[in-house]
């Protein structure tokens, strides 16, 4: 039972949009995590916070978690939303789509193929735009992941996170969000599938300030040695389906199985953004094992996004 009796004071985010992880300042990120924990423990205190607000949810790609948790978050905060699925900016110019939407809604949540689609929507719409996954970033996932790390370890500072697999959108956002909070981040990917060098450079700048350590390697055993949590994601992201056969071959040595987990700390948590492909990036034994926190992560999508919406719109 929560002991909270009133909603905590909400700090407004300074950036107009959340197009990428670094649109949040370190202080805003810390406040968001605190607010998310309060929203999780006392959701009713925030049940009217978005009264009268309407959002548009635009998805170019499939989704279970992101789409439903945004819809639920908006409705549980007292707002409402409309959903539109399909390509953005194909039937008419993207800049026209953006300038239609900002006459109707208070904010736009968009999942796109290209990061530039998110950036263009934000440039052309006066309503705030939230990145619900692009080819480069998945900032809302990283918020839930770090909330889960806080719940599991008390604080992200000094926690050893190992990401094994594709240097993709999920890896980029986790690297940026974890390192600025002082978590050590190791990633092991096959040659040619590592994280984007400009994202790594940004993370290294953040780590220099926070004291976090970043390890980029091709060796999954090196990445997981001493890890408190081992994270993986699909080998083939949405939009890369034509590369699936080649990727399955290249990533096979990067499967998170009991053997690899045995090289991490004995109580190492297993993390995955989901959806997962069992017997590709993770074995059933690991994802169903006692140290798997994947459904905590999924639950925390809701609470972290509520906190984000409150800080952007309440």
Residue with tokens 């969000």: 177
Catalytic site includes residue 279: no
Quick one: what does residue 131 bind among ligand CP, ligand NVA, none, with the CB cut-off 5 to 8 Å set by partner type? none
Catalytic one of 233, 247, 255, 272: 233
Question: Which residue number is nearest to ligand NVA in terms of Cβ?
Answer: 237
Q: Is 83 among the residues that bind ligand CP (CB under 6 A)?
A: no
Tokens standing for residue 44 = 């009713």
Q: Which is nearer to ligand NVA, 4 or 238 (CB)?
A: 238
Q: Is 168 among the residues that bind ligand CP (CB under 6 A)?
A: no
Catalytic one of 37, 65, 67, 138: 138
Catalytic one of 31, 172, 272, 301: 301
Q: Which is nearer to ligand NVA, 184 or 232 (CB)?
A: 232
Catalytic site includes residue 301: yes
Q: Which of 228, 245, 227 is nearest to 236 (CA)?
A: 245
230 within 8 A of 224, measured Cβ to Cβ = yes
Q: Is 125 among the residues that bind ligand CP (CB under 6 A)?
A: no
Catalytic site includes residue 140: no
Q: Is 57 among the residues that bind ligand NVA (CB under 6 A)?
A: no
Q: Is 187 among the residues that bind ligand NVA (CB under 6 A)?
A: no
The torsion defined by the Cα of 11, 14, 15 and 20, in degrees rounded to 10, comes to: -50
d(C-alpha 273, C-alpha 266), whole Å? 22
Phi, psi of 4 (to 5 degrees): -65, 140
Q: Is 273 among the residues that bind ligand NVA (CB under 6 A)?
A: yes
Query: From residue 152 to residue 171, what is the string marking binding to ligand NVA with x (rule CB under 6 A)?
Result: ----------------xxx-
- Residues 260-279 within binding reach of ligand CP (CB under 6 A): 273-275
Q: Which is nearer to ligand NVA, 64 or 83 (CB)?
A: 64
CB atoms within 10 A of CB 274: 16
Q: Which of 66, 104, 105 is nearest to 85 (CA)?
A: 66
d(C-alpha 198, C-alpha 214), whole Å? 14
Q: Is 225 among the residues that bind ligand CP (CB under 6 A)?
A: no
Helices (H), the chain: 26-41, 65-76, 94-104, 115-124, 139-153, 169-180, 197-210, 220-224, 244-251, 258-261, 284-287, 294-313
* Interacting residues toward ligand NVA by CB under 6 A: 133, 168-170, 233-234, 237-238, 273
* Interacting residues toward ligand CP by CB under 6 A: 63-66, 133, 141, 273-275
């Amino acid at each position: 039972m929560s002991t909270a009796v009133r909603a905590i004071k909400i700090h407004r985010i300074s950036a107009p949009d959340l197009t990428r992880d670094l649109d949040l300042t370190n202080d805003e990120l810390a406040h968001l995590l605190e607010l998310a924990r309060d929203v999780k423990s006392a959701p009713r205190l925030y049940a009217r916070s978005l009264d009268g607000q309407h959002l548009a949810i635009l998805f170019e790609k499939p989704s279970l978690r992101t789409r439903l948790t945004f819809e639920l978050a908006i409705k549980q905060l007292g707002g409402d939303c409309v959903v539109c699925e399909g390509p953005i900016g194909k039937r008419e110019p993207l800049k026209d789509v953006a300038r239609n939407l900002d006459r109707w809604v208070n904010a736009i949540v968009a999942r796109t193929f290209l990061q530039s689609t998110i950036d263009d929507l934000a440039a052309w719409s006066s309503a705030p735009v939230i990145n619900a996954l692009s080819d480069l970033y998945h900032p809302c996932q990283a918020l839930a992941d770090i909330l889960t790390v806080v719940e599991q370890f008390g604080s992200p500072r000094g926690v050893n996170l190992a990401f094994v697999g594709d240097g993709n959108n999920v890896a980029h956002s986790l690297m940026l969000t974890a390192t600025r909070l002082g978590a050590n981040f190791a990633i092991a990917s096959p040659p040619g599938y590592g994280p984007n060098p400009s994202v790594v450079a940004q993370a290294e700048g953040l780590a220099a300030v926070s004291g976090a350590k970043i390890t980029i390697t091709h060796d999954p055993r090196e990445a997981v040695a001493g890890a408190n949590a081992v994270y993986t994601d699909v080998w083939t992201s949405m939009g890369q389906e034509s590369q699936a056969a080649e990727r399955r071959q290249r990533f096979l040595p990067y499967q998170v199985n009991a053997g690899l987990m045995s090289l991490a700390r004995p109580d190492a948590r297993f993390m995955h953004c989901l959806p997962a492909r069992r017997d590709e990036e993770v074995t059933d034994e690991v994802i169903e094992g006692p140290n798997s926190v994947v459904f905590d992560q999924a639950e925390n999508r809701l609470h972290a996004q509520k906190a984000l919406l409150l800080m952007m719109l309440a």
